[in-house]
Amino acid sequence: MYLKDSGTFKAVDKLKSDTNSYKDKFTTVSTNASTNGCFQSFWELNFGVKTTLNAERKEVNYTGIPRNCNRYVMLDLLPGRTGNIMFQFAALIGLAKRYDLIPLVKDHLTIGQWFELPIFPRVEMIDSMELKSPVCCVYDDVFEHINGFNNWTISGYFQSWKYFSHVKQIIEQMFTLKEVFTKNAIAFLNETRSPGQWTVCIHVRRGDMLMPSASMRGYRVAGIDFINRAMEYYRTGLLNVLFVMVSDGILWCRENIRGENITFSPFYSNLDDFALMTSCDHVVVTSGTFGWWGAWLSRGTTVYFKDYPGSGSWLASQTNREDYYPRHWVAI
């Protein structure tokens, strides 16, 4: 699938070893968690069969949660765009489920405009221990061994599927776009594709990643060669395919990406483009967390740009590709 950059992995290993003393402060047996059904009660009150989810939902009655459910994990949200916030939120839910904790969010989540997120109880948490993820894109297994009988405040970018692989269906449910946003994407696809045609969305991230400062740090922009190879991959495996281009540089895409059965997003907002990605059968990812989540939620076959991040760069030193990219995704 891809070759490991030995220099990158040495840097990652050093970052992990440097935090050993920090981990030792919190590490205990992984079974140190209650089985009171606290997280399940929290989730069912938000997403159970009897709960009606709509744009007017403001409160959830938490009196149904057992009285002994008095341990919490709070997310101290770091700044970032949509994809970054989604990773943080997914890690919070993954940790809460693993240790049967009630999840809390310290800050307002703007992605609540996109998804029907849980309504969190208003709790003033005391005696909380802090746990931080030191780098963006390396899975920190200390989260598998914390003392589940404490209150916790976590912070970090948590950009690894491993933080929430055990709650995949829960995350998919939580990050289902509101119907008002998906109907336009589905209507466009129905009008554009022919009967029996597979749809493959290609997310081409350009924008801020074209800046020299971003390139110096290891952010890479996929070129036309990668896009052509990715399209050929699907043409080889699928008899009839329509490619749907989504990009923050859609003009560049129109001028440079050519061939049969290619169309371009007609939308002008990130939200509509995200809905288009998740509505397609398969997704191609060039770079960035926005495209990552569009691919993960599409549930199809994902092809990704193997030269991201740039080898030997600062960003590569913060990234373990085996942690960042799911194992079944295809590197080209």
DSSP annotation string for 26-85: TB--TT-S--S-HHHHHHHHHHSTTPPP-TT-----GGGS-TT---EEEE-PPP--HHHH
Indicate the pLDDT class of residue 91, thresholds 50, 70 and 90: very high
Residue 175 structure tokens? 């990050």
Which H/E stretch holds residue 292? Answer: helix 289-298
How confident is the model over 19-24, as a mean pLDDT? 38
Question: How many CB atoms neighbour CB 228 within 10 A?
Answer: 13
Q: What is the pLDDT of residue 2?
A: 27
Q: What is the pLDDT of residue 176?
A: 94
Helix axes 38-47, 82-99, angle to 10 degrees: 130
Yes or no: is domain 179-331 CATH 3.40.50? yes
How confident is the model over 264-283, as a mean pLDDT? 97
Bridge partner residues of 5 (DSSP): none
pLDDT surpasses 70 at 24: no
How confident is the model over 107-133, as a mean pLDDT? 85
- From the CA atom positions of the chain, what is the Rg in Å? 21
Q: What is the pLDDT of residue 247?
A: 97
Q: What is the pLDDT of residue 32?
A: 56
Q: What is the pLDDT of residue 31?
A: 44
Kindly report which listed range (45-49, 57-61, 214-218, 287-291) carries the lowest average pLDDT score. Answer: 57-61
DSSP letter assigned to residue 124: -
Q: Which residue has the higher pLDDT, 53 or 217?
A: 217
Summary mean pLDDT of the chain: 86
Question: Rounded CA gap, 111 and 270, in Å?
Answer: 12
pLDDT tens string 294-319: 999 999 999 999 999 999 999 999 99
Q: What is the pLDDT of residue 134?
A: 86
Domain residue ranges in the chain: 16-174, 179-331
How confident is the model over 94-113, as a mean pLDDT? 89
DSSP annotation string for 140-202: -GGGGSB-TTSEEEEES----GGGTGGGHHHHHHHTPBPHHHHHHHHHHHHHHSPTT-EEEEE
Q: What is the pLDDT of residue 297?
A: 97
Indicate the pLDDT class of residue 95, thresholds 50, 70 and 90: very high
How much of the chain exceeds pLDDT 70, in percent?
84
